[in-house]
Structure 1
Amino acid sequence: MVNPARSQYVVDYQRVADTYFQHKEYYAAAQYYQKALDLIPSPTTETAVPFGKAPSGKMQRKRSDYEKIIFRLAESLRLYKDYLNAEKWYAIAKGFSDKQYQSAAFWHPVCLRANQKFREALSGFGQYLASSPADDNLKKRANLEIADCRFAIRELDYPRLYRLTKLAGRLNSAGSNYAPVWINNQLYFTSSRPIDVDGKKEYLSSDEDSKVRIAKKESPYVNAIYQLSGEPSQATNEVKKLTLLKDMEQAAPTFNPAGNRMYFTAWQNKGEKDKHAIYTSQRDDKGEWSAPVIAGGMVNAAGFNSIQPCLTKDGRYLVFSSDRPGGFGKYDLWYAPVNGDGTFGHPLNMGAAVNTAEDEEAASWLSAVGKLVFSSNGRTGMGGFDFYETTGSFATNTWKSPVNKGNPFNSSKDDMYFTATDDAGNAGFISSDRESLCCLELFKIEQTSLAVSGQLTDCVTGKPLQGVTVRLTDSLDKTELGKMVTAQNGTYHFALTTRRPLLMVASKTKYFSKSIFIDPVHNATDTLVNPSICLDTYQVNKPVIVKDVYYEFDKSELTASSKTVLDKLVKTMADNPNIRVEIGAHTDNKGTEAYNLELSLRRAESCVQYLVSQGIDAERLTSRGYGESMPIAPNTLDNGKDNPDGRSKNRRTEFKVTRDDILSAKGG
């Protein structure tokens, strides 16, 4: 039998979707927008809206309705973090002529970037800026996104050495799983996994249509804090939900060193007027947590949000994120001193060195190394929220410019909440949605290394060289990665954390410095063992013969093979910018003395000209012809006959260091 009360209703998927969209129920909104486009089957639902009489056949929609559905479908998918599918619908929406959908041209390349299509995204952002968009905020964000894409391309070419493993078992259950905290060899985390709601319903009304009222189950996805029993890497691990506050969602805990006082974020999730605040709870000897109390007005500013507390290991400072007045953007990082009685002192904004016009969140303090790790979406990075680290002092509130932790610590999506399992922060846990269509998941992260080692010796004696300074720098951005001085055995060793191309320079007083280019990108092993590297000694104003430099007969032009030999001198000059060199040429005694003097000068000048042509600064070079005046072997034998071997030795090219104390050079 047909229920007459139901016969006057039909499902209008667009109006249902619009209502879900207004209430930020983006997953449900996306489902119903797709139903409105006849993309998925009709639902079996109680959800219905008054529609007068049921139309025959499919409901006919105007072009404006179609464009609204397409755009809001794309928006819903993006806001639900399903960038893969949002990309497809924004690709359609960006072609709409209605100005209210102009932002699709911005959000489409955002989705391309999130989907790691960085070069396509670069083109898309360029096209968006070229269209002279009216939204100044999106224009600023487009320029930041362009920088992000360029940074990400470089990072993908040269990944940092980290090993990521997604945690198995019940740790990554349905919903979001995030904000890991490692304390006393135990893992706590936050999860929005579904809970039993006993068939209760929640009713949503529409701001756009007062007749729309949707009955749906209360959201089963509720944020709560969980405690892990067992090893995080085990698939059989068990989790326990902490019962703290009723009728409030809770997340992102932090603990004092003893693990018996907890600070966390709590909120009611009842709309825009509901604010997030930081609460605290004490654990008794039986392991039970006390009824939480709000952390007070110094941390929680009335009418504003305070979230993601982080207590320093010594218990002296509480770092948190807040949108209170006095900041630089949306959410800023602040900190408040903790008094002896557990109350808080006046909070301080961490300043422009740390905070941007966007969001800075989820801080973690590594006291042993004095580093603050946090996430930001307002700096150049891989895209979305990225991890950054800075060093500084709470006592003076001074901080250095934060450095992006690179790929794969960061991804093209959101990467937040780092907790370290060692003092240096080389291992720990993070949360990221890099492998998910919607939600943050928990990962274990460990820094690995690549070994570079070898030995420095004297080129003549072959003995190990002590006291050689060995520097390792990033050959792309010239950042120094390591420095050491060799001991008596002449060995060096570095543990690298990147596969970027490297430059190693070995230097010692009265020895020519030598540089070696190292390319770890294509190295398949964990060790790069370099052969022994020898250094040549020198003395100021003592000439050294450059072997195998030849000229055309009776001419000053260098042969091709001689240029190859001089290339070694080019490298020596480039590796030793502190030296000036004289190039001297000599002849045998065939011909007149004047002619030989002039020929030798032209030959010396040819060498200097070649070195200059290869980038060596001319001011560092002088040329001199000695003619036949300084033989090193007899031109004739004792019996008066010609001595070809002696003449060959006398026809030589030499260089000598005339100065080695130049503090700077123009180049080469």
Structure 2
Amino acid sequence: MNKYVRLIIFSIITVVLASCGASKLGRDALLSHQIGEYYKAIEKYHKASRKEKDRTKRREYAYAIAECYHYIGDYERAALYYQNAIRRGYEDPEALFNLAEMFRFTQKYEEAIETYRAFLDSVPGDDRARTSLEAIRQTQEWVANPTRHIINPIKEINSRESDYSPVFVGGRDNEIIFTSSRQAATGKKKSMITGQDYTDLFRATFSVQRQKWEQPQLLDENLIINSGDEDGAATLSSTGEQMIFTRSRYDKTKSLGTELYTTSQSRGSWSEPIKLQVVGDSLVAAHPSLSIDGSVLYFVSDMPGGMGGKDIWKAEKSGGSFVNPENLGAPINTPGDEMFPFIRDNGELYFSSNYHLGMGGLDIFRAVKDEEGNWVVENMGYPMNSPSDDFGIAFVEGQNKGMFTSNRKGSRGDDLYDFMVPPKIFRVEGEVFNKENRTRIDGANVRIIGTDGTSLRLRTQNGKFQMTLKPETEYIFAAFKDGFLRDKASANTIGLEESKDFRFELFLTPTDAPVNLENINYEFGSWELLPESKTSLDTLVATLMLNPTITIEIMSHTDHVGSDQFNFELSQKRAQSVVDYLIEKGISSQRLVAKGYGETWPKTVTRSLARQYDFLKRGDELTEEFILKLPEEQQEIARAINRRTEFRVLSTDFIERFDAEPER
């Protein structure tokens, strides 16, 4: 919820309880609530409610308890107490909105939608409710279309208490420092905010031999870093020698502030922490993140000049100090809370927000600068985000893997999860065939050209070849062998978000026999090409361009119907029509010969034709005598087969000649 809306509601609760002469327990609960001791406030509200007989006060207590549970992220309990307050007659429609939010955060989407709509009946057009309804729709879309991230809880590290905000030592993946309130922590006081023990900084290392994380240990056994207050949420320099961390101090009645401290390590020992003067006294500074060169510190604060709630700020290093804090502004910061920044070595900024469109609670967002230097923010989607709280992300330097924190279903609280984006793998598997008999061609050459500069040659084994392709690259594959026309195929990995296997077949045409051109048709008794013939001839154009050293003869054939002279003349003109079309498409006339054969070269049935027509067998010659012995229907099929246009290769060493310009 917007921080200022919550403050207004809290003020109303305060006024109501105070004006009704609330008991001492009620006043104490309000004081704890006011200074942010939410866990302690819940205990006191319960005690006050049990002793209170006034229905109005008990209703206000129920709503205040819901607000406290909401703030500390216990959304299921918060929902129960919002419902309790509403049943008791709590009239402010804000209770409906908050209840709908709790339903959304706990994945009770049908109840959430119904409650949002009830809220909109009271507050028509409320932008927050409309945004949350859109978030439910978007959440379902994210879950249906997950990202490539693979995530797993780190069972060896996680405890029953809170474990969060990991940071990799030296950017490597075998050692982390993280924050925890586990029993081994030195601070045995209970946090008045969460009810858990105060947090300390812990170290964990990964055992290569055992292939698992070792038992975490306190970062500082000498209690120089870990203190009686809450210590955690740290960042390290790229070498791991300097650390900046968060410390929250309290006395018996109030918070003394959350501040940043810096320390350095030498020979395994940490120096006495020194407070960083990044913001003024009494202001919050937390969740630090250092840029890779250590020159910029990103942190969280609610200091004046922000956009509402907690914002992300940055301060640049000058003379050993970080000075002149600057609010990152929109679109990163919002009226809600933006926290736990992490700046990657590639300049990408990651942070968590409860205001940007998300799945619920805190979601992790990625911000990248565009060509004009403006931040572009995007939700990391599912499974990195969940309807619960997801925050405190850290990357291994130079790699698409790391850790983050989540209290999603299946967690025992705030738990650490590792994540990785598996590399996109692109493979190609090809087969090279003899187009005439469909047998694989062993020892064929395959030339591979890529837009990234790739230039390779492979040789087929048993007619097959394979290789791995690079991302964001376009490839051409050309297969060739002496005695065959070339063929080619292409593969393109540009823009592909998932791994992919490419499979294709290349067909090399033998040059020792005529090659039939399919679908070459003419007007009846004419040599004018029909439109559909030109599509087929374009394939021949591509073949000639792929095989620039061949010359061919275009061979046109007719059936036996009509006089010999007519058929010769018609076939010659038809062959010339094909040659003219090829020249028009840019093929040199020096590579083309037109020849009409009339009815003198009957077709010999190939294996393909025999499979297509069961009355023919391979090797049959479709002479006039053979055809006239067939039934009439089969005769027409045989005559149609004879009416064909073919080409054959005349030479394979063509070099185009250019006539010299005449002397002037």
Q: TM-score range by the shorter chain?
A: 0.5 to 0.7
Deviations 1:241-287 (A, max 9, x none): 55338664332122223333221222324688844332222334461
From the superposition, tell whether residues 507 and 413 of structure 1 become closer, same or farther in structure 2 (CA, over 3 Å): farther
Answer yes or no: is the 8 Å Cα contact 1:350–1:397 preserved in 2. no
Q: Residue 252 of structure 1: SS of its match in structure 2?
A: strand
**1:443 aligned onto 2:454:** no
Answer yes or no: is the 8 Å Cα contact 1:366–1:425 preserved in 2. no
TM-score norm. by structure 2 comes to 0.60
**1:412 aligned onto 2:384:** no
Given the alignment, which residue of 354, 359, 375 partners 1:382? 359
1:154 offset after TM fit, Å?
1.9
The residue correspondences of 1:383-532 to structure 2 (distance < 5 A) are 383-392=360-369, 398-421=373-396, 423-435=397-409, 439-448=413-422, 451-456=425-430, 466-467=447-448, 487-489=456-458, 491=466, 493=468, 531-532=503-504
Q: Residue 146 of structure 1: SS of its match in structure 2?
A: helix
Give identity over the alignment, percent: 24
Deviations 1:214-265 (A, max 9, x none): xx99977223323346759446443345533866433212222333322122
**1:84 aligned onto 2:76:** yes
Deviations 1:507-530 (A, max 9, x none): 7899787999xx999xxxxx9756
CA distance in 1, matches of 2:488, 2:638: 30
Report the RMSD for the aligned CA atoms in angstroms.
5.3
**1:67 aligned onto 2:59:** yes
**1:262 aligned onto 2:279:** no
Given the alignment, which residue of 273, 279, 282 partners 2:264? 282
Q: Residue 136 of structure 2: SS of its match in structure 1?
A: helix
1:115 offset after TM fit, Å?
1.6
Partner of 1:132: 123
1:193 offset after TM fit, Å?
4.4
Partner of 2:177: 188
CA distance in 2, matches of 1:380, 1:240: 37
From the superposition, tell whether residues 284 and 528 of structure 1 become closer, same or farther in structure 2 (CA, over 3 Å): closer
Read off the aligned partner of 2:127 and give its amino acid letter.
K
Answer yes or no: is the 8 Å Cα contact 2:224–2:270 preserved in 1. no
Deviations 1:637-666 (A, max 9, x none): 6469574224444899xxxxxxxxxxxxxx
Gaps in structure 1 of 5+ consecutive residues: 1-10, 39-50, 52-58, 203-215, 471-482, 497-503, 522-526, 550-568, 573-586, 591-629, 653-668
Deviations 1:84-140 (A, max 9, x none): 23334434544565433x222212222222222345434443443343269xxxx33
Answer yes or no: is the 8 Å Cα contact 2:342–2:393 preserved in 1. yes
Q: Residue 389 of structure 1: SS of its match in structure 2?
A: strand
Deviations 1:603-648 (A, max 9, x none): xxxxxxxxxxxxxxxxxxxxxxxxxxx9999899646957422444
1:456 offset after TM fit, Å?
4.6
Deviations 1:451-488 (A, max 9, x none): 55332567875768645779xxxxxxxxxxxx997954
1:157 offset after TM fit, Å?
1.8
Given the alignment, which residue of 278, 299, 303 partners 1:324? 303
1:183 offset after TM fit, Å?
0.7
Gaps in structure 2 of 5+ consecutive residues: 1-22, 459-464, 479-486, 510-514, 522-535, 540-557, 562-596, 604-621, 645-664
Read off the aligned partner of 2:259 and give its amino acid letter.
A
Given the alignment, which residue of 330, 338, 342 partners 1:360? 338
Where is the helix percentage greater, Structure 1 or Structure 2?
2
Partner of 2:146: 159
Answer yes or no: is the 8 Å Cα contact 1:144–1:379 preserved in 2. no
1:327 offset after TM fit, Å?
4.0
CA distance in 2, matches of 1:252, 1:350: 20
Answer yes or no: is the 8 Å Cα contact 2:96–2:119 preserved in 1. yes
1:418 offset after TM fit, Å?
1.7
Count of aligned residue pairs for this structure pair:
496
Read off the aligned partner of 1:338 and give its amino acid letter.
K
Read off the aligned partner of 2:198 and give its amino acid letter.
V
Partner of 2:547: none
Given the alignment, which residue of 348, 353, 360 partners 1:371? 348
Answer yes or no: is the 8 Å Cα contact 1:354–1:402 preserved in 2. yes
CA distance in 2, matches of 1:76, 1:300: 28
**1:150 aligned onto 2:142:** no
From the superposition, tell whether residues 531 and 103 of structure 1 become closer, same or farther in structure 2 (CA, over 3 Å): same
CA distance in 2, matches of 1:250, 1:650: 91
CA distance in 2, matches of 1:417, 1:276: 17
**1:336 aligned onto 2:307:** no
Read off the aligned partner of 1:129 and give its amino acid letter.
L
From the superposition, tell whether residues 266 and 520 of structure 1 become closer, same or farther in structure 2 (CA, over 3 Å): closer
TM-score norm. by structure 1 comes to 0.59
Q: Residue 402 of structure 2: SS of its match in structure 1?
A: strand
